Amino acid sequence: MDKFLSMTDEELVTLYAKGNNKAFEALFSKYEETLFSYIFYLVRNRDLADDIFQETFIKAITTIKRGKYTESGKFRSWISRIAHNLVVDYFRSEQKHSLISNDEYEYDLFNNSKFSDETIETSMVKNQIHSDVKRLVDALPEMQREVLNMRYYNDMSFKEIADKTGVSINTALGRMRYAILNMRRVAQENDMILS
State residue 177's pLDDT score: 86
CATH number at residue 79: 1.10.1740.10
Number of domains making up the chain: 2
Same domain, 19 and 90: yes
Q: Give the whole-angstrom CA distance, residue 56 versus residue 74.
A: 16
Whether pTM > 0.75 for this model: the answer is: no
Give the structural domain span for 45. Answer: 2-97
State residue 189's pLDDT score: 78
Same domain, 132 and 86: no
Cα 23 to Cα 48, 58, 129, 130, 161, distances in angstroms: 27, 15, 33, 36, 53
Same domain, 147 and 66: no
Q: Give the whole-angstrom CA distance, residue 39 versus residue 146.
A: 36
Same domain, 143 and 86: no
Examine residue 102 and state whether it is found in any structural domain, yes or no: no
Sign of the CA dihedral running 69, 72, 74, 77: negative
Of the candidates 64, 80, 32, the residue with the CA atom closest to the CA atom of residue 191: 80
Q: How far is CA 58 from the centre of its chain?
A: 20
Examine residue 113 and state whether it is found in any structural domain, yes or no: no
Diameter of the chain measured on Cα atoms: 67
Same domain, 51 and 133: no
Q: How far is CA 168 from the centre of its chain?
A: 36
Examine residue 110 and state whether it is found in any structural domain, yes or no: no
State residue 114's pLDDT score: 45
For every one of its 195 residues, what pLDDT tens digit does the chain have, with 9 covering 90 and above?
Answer: 578 888 888 899 989 889 888 988 888 888 888 888 888 888 888 989 999 999 998 988 888 888 888 877 788 888 988 999 898 888 888 776 555 444 444 444 444 444 445 556 666 767 777 777 788 888 888 998 898 888 877 888 888 888 999 998 888 888 888 888 888 887 777 776 655
